Amino acid sequence: MSNVALELTNVRKKIKNKEIIKDVNLTIRQGEVYGFIGPNGAGKTTTIRMIVGLMDLTDGEIKVLGKSIEKEYKDAARNLGAIVENPEMYPFMTGRQNLSHFARMYDDVPKGRVEEVITLVGLDQAIDEKVSKYSLGMRQRLGIAQAILHKPAVLILDEPTNGLDPAGIREIRDYIRRLAVEDNVAVMISSHLLSEIELMCDRIGIIKHGELITEQSVKEDSEEADQSEIKVVLDVKETEEAIKVLASLELKAEKEGSQLVSLMTRETIPQVVNKLVESGVTIYGVTGVKPSLEDQFLELTGGNIIE
Amino acid sequence: MSNFFSLLYNELFKIYIRKSTWVMYIILGLIAVGGAIIISSFDDVQPTEYTDNWKEELQEENEALHKDNEEFGYSFNDDRIMKNEYLLENDIRPLNYGAWQYTLENVGLVAIVSLLTIIIGSSIISNEYKWGTIKLLLIRPISRNIILLSKFIAIFVFGLFTMIYLFLVSMLGGAVFFGFEGFNPSTVIMTANGIEYVPIVGEVMSEYGYRIVNLIMMTTLAFMISTIFKNSSIAIGVGIFLLMGGNIITGIFSQYEWSKYLLFANLDLKMYETGNILIEGMTLGFSITMLIVYFVVFVALAWLFFNKRDIVNQ
């Protein structure tokens, strides 16, 4: 297993006696992309502000590569790159001037790095225009550019897909995956829309009312996937016959219109198909339906309600 | 430490890249040269050109000044008459009006430099909140103290540059419209000890220097207010009000003994040179101590609020 890059231990935040974040524990490893999902107002941005040192912790600890953000701020901050909420830049400066400005805040960002980053995020065309003329998508790219200037080990992106069109989202998704795989960067992406970031994450955590209510892998291990039951839809001609066959394998099936729906593990699917064929059942189709994360998310959070 | 200069460079870059800064400079430049244009285009306010016959010219001038005094029944020309008499007694040829004297007279425009510095000082922190860039600034591996310090120093570097600009524009304007008196001319001035013959350069330095005290204190006050309230309008308003109205406030309370502890009572250190001390018992040491105390309090408050705050949206 790779090393822990970001670690939150029993993190709490109280603002004016209201508990905004209640005992959040969370670990992100190097090279892992973590989706931080929650409805608006659940405490995503507050958590992110604490990680990057913009807010004090009421209780608990946050460590970046083992360095506490509160006690060893400089060492921790050196390894962090972030966009917090909207990627706001100096509007009266060009993209290049903005990047140079932030590059000067590090001791060890070489001169050529700014150019390198501009090409990486694909802003070569517009980099010498003033940021006030940028579209939201261009500002998002510039935001990512400033966050990776100093090659941080941990990258925090707050709603990076906000205001992007599907093509833009795909581009950012590819780019983030590349950072994680090639540079071993730990990436934390927050979003209130699961569907937008589901595809780029290895793991997601869902936060609601300041509590991390569930964490799960997006791309489950094949072994694990073989063990868990999934919904299988069987499109067959002789439904009654098929139900009997399934019963002989100790599987329950329900009739939904002209189709049968059953719960079984991935491993048993070929077995079931064999049996059905042997019994002379005509099969038009077999579809495994994975419960979508979106469904689970909505079930867990009770929809996207601002509280 | 090299890092600190990068931060200072960043702050100055953000000040001087903006058009509004250059508009301020153009306005200040126009005002600084405007005086010279007005003086040189109206005959009756033209300064006298002294020739080799300067002794007679001075005597004639004094007679005319005496006549004016009698006509108006008020001796507003006395200073000038005494200066002229001093020149005649000591056989000093009067200096023709030129760039140095014009620059000396422009010392009042330091108030505008103060005004611009207050505007910059009031907005250097609050603008970062307004633009939302405060978040990007405070997630770097640099402590908030250093960021605050770099901004604070940047304000005074701006003030210094603007002061130098005012000086250069005044010299240039004066030289173009009235001529240049040389690199180290001397002139007669009124001091606490009567009339003295001194080099103008020193006089310019001391006149501009005394007003820097006011600039530094008012800017620091405005910087503190804007850091606490994250709002530049309040800070600019208070700063300008106190810059303009400080003397009036001191005037109202000057009958009370405690008024010597007011910031405004201590801003004009020149009073110890001229002898017009505002409240009896005040000394230069007392005023400098008071100024340092106020300065430290302002900076400490700004530091406390900037350092302890959770950064959230406005």
Looking at the complex, report in whole angstroms how far the Cα of residue B138 sits from the nearest Cα belonging to chain A. 7
Whether residue A185 sits in one domain with residue A71: yes
pLDDT at B118: 94
Range of the domain at A90: 4-220
From chain A, which residues contact B within 8 Å (Cβ)? 15, 49, 52-56, 73-75, 77-78, 80, 82, 84-86, 88-93, 97, 101-102, 104-107, 146
Q: Token pair for residue B27?
A: 């306005």
- Please indicate, yes or no, if residue A297 is contained in any of the structural domains: no
Whether residue A155 sits in one domain with residue A233: no
Residues of B within 8 A of A53 (CB-CB) are 138-139
Q: To 10 degrees, the CA torsion angle through A249, A250, A254, A260?
A: -20
Distance of CA A154 to the CA centre of its chain: 14
- Report pTM: 0.84
**Alpha-carbon Rg for chain A in angstroms:** 24
pLDDT at B246: 81
Q: What are phi and psi of B127, to 5 degrees?
A: -60, -35
According to DSSP, the β-strands at A59-64 and A67-68 are antiparallel
- CA–CA separation, B197 and A141 (whole Å): 67
> A54–B10: do the CB atoms touch at under 8 Å?
no
Give every CB contact of residue B311 below 8 A, 6+ residues apart in sequence. Answer: A49, A54, A55, B134, B135, B138
Q: What is the CATH number of the domain that holds A253?
A: 3.30.70.100
Q: Compute CA distances B68 → B57, B89, B97, B152, whole Å.
A: 16, 23, 22, 51
Whether residue A187 sits in one domain with residue A127: yes
Residues of A within 8 A of B7 (CB-CB) are 104-105
pLDDT at B43: 65
Whether residue A171 sits in one domain with residue A44: yes
Whether residue A64 sits in one domain with residue A124: yes
Question: With an 8 Å Cβ cutoff, is B309 touching chain A?
Answer: no
**Under DSSP, is residue A22 helix (H, G, I), strand (E, B) or coil?**
strand
> A55–B311: do the CB atoms touch at under 8 Å?
yes
- Please indicate, yes or no, if residue A250 is contained in any of the structural domains: yes
pLDDT at A305: 46
Whether residue A278 sits in one domain with residue A191: no
The last residue of one of the domains, among A193, A220, A247, is: A220
Q: Assess contact for B216 and B110: CB atoms under 8 A.
A: no
pLDDT at A73: 93
- CA–CA separation, A82 and A188 (whole Å): 9
- CA–CA separation, A189 and A176 (whole Å): 10
> B17–A93: do the CB atoms touch at under 8 Å?
yes
Tell me the domain boundaries of chain B: 2-47+96-308, 51-95
Give how many domains chain A has, as a whole number. Answer: 2
- CA–CA separation, A283 and B153 (whole Å): 80
Residues of chain A under the 50 pLDDT cut: 222, 304-307
> A53–B142: do the CB atoms touch at under 8 Å?
no
Q: Count CB atoms within 10 A of the CB of residue A277.
A: 12
Whether residue A119 sits in one domain with residue A258: no
Whether residue A242 sits in one domain with residue A179: no
Global ipTM: 0.84
Q: Compute CA distances A81 → A52, A65, A127, B102, whole Å.
A: 8, 13, 20, 55
Q: pLDDT tens for residues A37-53?
A: 888 888 899 999 999 99
Q: Token pair for residue A64?
A: 């970046």
Q: Which of A85, A101, A139, A150 should be substituted to probe chain B, the one whose Cβ sees the most B Cβ atoms within 10 Å?
A: A101
- Please indicate, yes or no, if residue A295 is contained in any of the structural domains: no
Where helices occur in A53-94 by DSSP H, the ranges are 73-78
The last residue of one of the domains, among A205, A220, A235, is: A220
Whether residue A181 sits in one domain with residue A243: no
Whether residue A213 sits in one domain with residue A183: yes
Whether residue A29 sits in one domain with residue A79: yes
Residues of chain B under the 70 pLDDT cut: 1-2, 43-46, 75, 192, 313-314
pLDDT at A226: 61
- Please indicate, yes or no, if residue A296 is contained in any of the structural domains: no
> Which member of B6, B132, B135 has the closest CB to residue A104?
B6
Q: Count CB atoms within 10 A of the CB of residue B189.
A: 15
- Please indicate, yes or no, if residue A294 is contained in any of the structural domains: no
Q: What is the CATH number of the domain that holds A114?
A: 3.40.50.300
Whether residue A33 sits in one domain with residue A88: yes
- Please indicate, yes or no, if residue A301 is contained in any of the structural domains: no
> Which member of A55, A86, A93 has the closest CB to residue B310?
A55
- Listed residue (B23, B135, B10, B22) closest to A93, CA to CA: B10
pLDDT at A219: 65
The last residue of one of the domains, among A164, A194, A220, is: A220
> B7–A104: do the CB atoms touch at under 8 Å?
yes
Q: DSSP label at B132? A: T
The conformational region for residue A215 under phi > 0 = left, psi -120 to 50 = alpha, else beta, is beta
